[in-house]
Structure 1
């Protein structure tokens, strides 16, 4: 598996927004907000917000290390923090472990908090995106060495946001996948669920012939709005997905 050093971020960045990065341990966020809402004080606020989002989860996995290692649906202990419960629920619905939803869950919590300060918000966390927009947006699809990279984008209408747009890949990045999809992109109102479903669908792809089967798995999960599966020269799509030329 190759690791492309976050050059994929060019595919979701928006020219009318100002983008900045916030890094806290494993969490590496690319955040876009309206230019007039940006300030150094806002960046400091987001840095604290990320620590506050991560803190309860870090404390919980120290108490329940099996939560961290589970690759199948897992029931959190009584008193688990809200983010752990959200991740476990997303994992259960998609048939995977709770950590398959962690990047989407963090992006979602940070994004929802930022919505109180900016009408347009995009938070990307390792390929998993929370988006709220007041205008039409195009989010490019990065699919590694596939010929589809740089050619296709998702067109997202403002009335369909807030929205989670999460990507799993078996050929790009460091996240665990049992498949070899170049990209599985899942759309859901819940970024945590989109993240978990993308992992589940990606696990099914062992060859380009599996793209339709993987799309069908994601489509069968309640709460999923759309999915795009790419492996090599094959693509399958389902749901509220509008694919347009990139650029």
Structure 2
């Protein structure tokens, strides 16, 4: 884990957007929101792609909902799901991610959705950022800085993760026991995980966050996360304490993002 000082990239999202939605951005990209049933995406791309985004969200939701209709337990289990060779690709990604992290497949749904939609949008745009409830798929031909939103922690939006190369697409997902509605057994303000698989980053962030009930457990939780194959980097914020590991660089944020 490295540190450097750099000016964060800024999003051109509207000022009324929620703070966590101003965590990452590329100057010059068009930002737009797509809401479809329970799915709420903030997207940045070379041009406005609301229709294309909505169509892909409907496809993904249809595949996940169809699988849940067939296997209702899939939606509620907190344990890894058995492999299903004939499941849709997005469902298989959720199953694989949950199995790798030791959690249920729905722990990976937001990251899997962000990545699946994001990769489809690459058919229309060279640069794509898709944020889904704090879980982000990023593909940009250049470095990106993502601010760490950690609720009421004094470190929230004071530190960013510098990603020097996202040209193949990368996932940056966050789990929190104090922010939002996601299920977490822990109390960390933010657990951020970087992986080439956005679904895996989502599931791993949940698994790591479940192990943190006080700042004293940051070190052991990170040690657990290091053993999850495919995890590239981890940042944990709990109150005023922070721990980090992996192929990431931390940067101080020098100004308000947005």
- TM-score tier by shorter-chain length is over 0.9
3-state DSSP class of the match of 2:210? helix
Give the match for residue 171 of structure 1.
178
Match 1:239 to one of 230, 240, 246: 246
Cα-to-partner distance string for 1:12-52 (whole Å, 9 max, x where unaligned): 23332211011111111000012xx33xxx31121111101
Q: Distance in 2 between matches of 1:137 and 1:78?
A: 36
Query: What is the CA distance between 1:140 and its match in structure 2?
Result: 0.6
Q: Distance in 1 between matches of 2:213 and 2:165?
A: 35
3-state DSSP class of the match of 1:204? coil
Taking a change above 3 Å as real, the CA distance of residues 237 and 219 of structure 1, as seen in their structure-2 partners, is same
Asked if the contact 1:138–1:154 (Cα under 8 Å) also holds between the matched residues in 2, the reply is yes
Greater fraction of residues in helix:
1
Alignment of 1:134-149 (within 5 A): 134-149=141-156
- In the alignment, structure 1 segments of 5+ residues that lack a partner are none
Q: TM-score, normalised by structure 1?
A: 0.92
Cα-to-partner distance string for 1:209-245 (whole Å, 9 max, x where unaligned): 1111111111111111000011011111010110001
- In the alignment, structure 2 segments of 5+ residues that lack a partner are 1-16
Give the match for residue 8 of structure 1.
20
Give the match for residue 7 of structure 2.
none
- Which piece of structure 1 moves more, 96-105 or 207-216? 207-216
3-state DSSP class of the match of 1:158? coil
Q: Distance in 2 between matches of 1:206 and 1:173?
A: 17
3-state DSSP class of the match of 1:154? strand
Q: TM-score, normalised by structure 2?
A: 0.89
Asked if the contact 1:67–1:76 (Cα under 8 Å) also holds between the matched residues in 2, the reply is no
1:33 and 2:45 matched? yes
Q: Distance in 2 between matches of 1:161 and 1:230?
A: 28
Taking a change above 3 Å as real, the CA distance of residues 211 and 161 of structure 1, as seen in their structure-2 partners, is farther
Higher relative contact order (CA 8 A, sep 6+): 2
Query: What is the CA distance between 1:160 and its match in structure 2?
Result: 6.3
Cα RMSD between the aligned structures? 1.4
Match 2:217 to one of 205, 210, 233: 210
- Which piece of structure 1 moves more, 128-137 or 191-200? 128-137
Give the match for residue 72 of structure 2.
65
Q: Distance in 1 between matches of 2:87 and 2:168?
A: 29
Q: Distance in 2 between matches of 1:207 and 1:61?
A: 35
Q: How many residues align?
A: 238
